[in-house]
């Protein structure tokens, strides 16, 4: 990084020691309808897989669809609230995250499952940023409709 770039970051109140992948991540609300190739998509979920989890249980579950499977894509899109549907309908891939409620390796609830899903999603987003792929995480969806419509 040049002295000019460092100075510009500091003037914006940004600590240049924060990794570029973290600094450059943002959540766009406009997407190109360009398909995402399978190799890139698999790499994103490989990064997600490497996230730490409580007892290394990996409770993360991802339901993924693309416009290649239009009925599944439209089903997932219909789970979003209307405001999110307006811009998300252009995204080439939609993903719903879920957490397994109980540990797989031993009996009992996994109280940390959603934390682990968040960390896994963070890994996916960092990898996406490194690849120049945009990701936007949304809370505006109908969880009941997603469970029923997507078989979660």
What is residue 77's predicted lDDT score, i.e. its pLDDT?
Answer: 98
Using an 8 Å Cβ cutoff, are 71 and 142 in contact? no
**Distance (Å, whole) CA 21 – CA 11:** 19
pTM of the full structure: 0.89
What sign has the CA pseudo-torsion 20, 26, 28, 33? Answer: positive
What number of other Cβ atoms are within 10 A of residue 44's Cβ? 23
Taking only the tens place, the pLDDT of each residue in 93-145 is 999 999 999 999 999 999 999 999 999 999 999 999 999 999 999 999 999 99
Confidence of residue 9 (pLDDT cuts 50, 70, 90): confident
Distance of CA 53 to the CA centre of its chain: 16
**Distance (Å, whole) CA 11 – CA 56:** 41
**Phi, psi for 61 (deg, rounded to 5):** -130, 135
């Amino acid at each position: 990084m040049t002295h000019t770039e460092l100075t510009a970051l500091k003037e914006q109140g940004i600590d240049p020691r924060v990794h570029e992948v973290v600094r450059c991540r943002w959540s766009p609300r406009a997407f190109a309808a360009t398909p995402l190739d399978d190799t890139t998509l698999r790499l994103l979920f490989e990064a997600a897989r490497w996230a730490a989890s409580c007892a290394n249980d990996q409770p993360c579950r991802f339901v993924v669809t693309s416009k290649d499977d239009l009925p599944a894509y439209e089903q997932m899109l219909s789970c979003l609230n209307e405001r999110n549907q307006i811009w998300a309908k252009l995204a080439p891939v939609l993903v719903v995250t879920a957490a397994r409620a109980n540990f797989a390796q031993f009996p009992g609830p996994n109280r940390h499952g959603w934390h682990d899903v968040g960390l896994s999603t963070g890994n996916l987003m960092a990898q996406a940023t490194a690849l120049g792929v945009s990701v936007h995480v949304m809370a505006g969806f109908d969880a009941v409709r997603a469970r029923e419509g997507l078989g979660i």
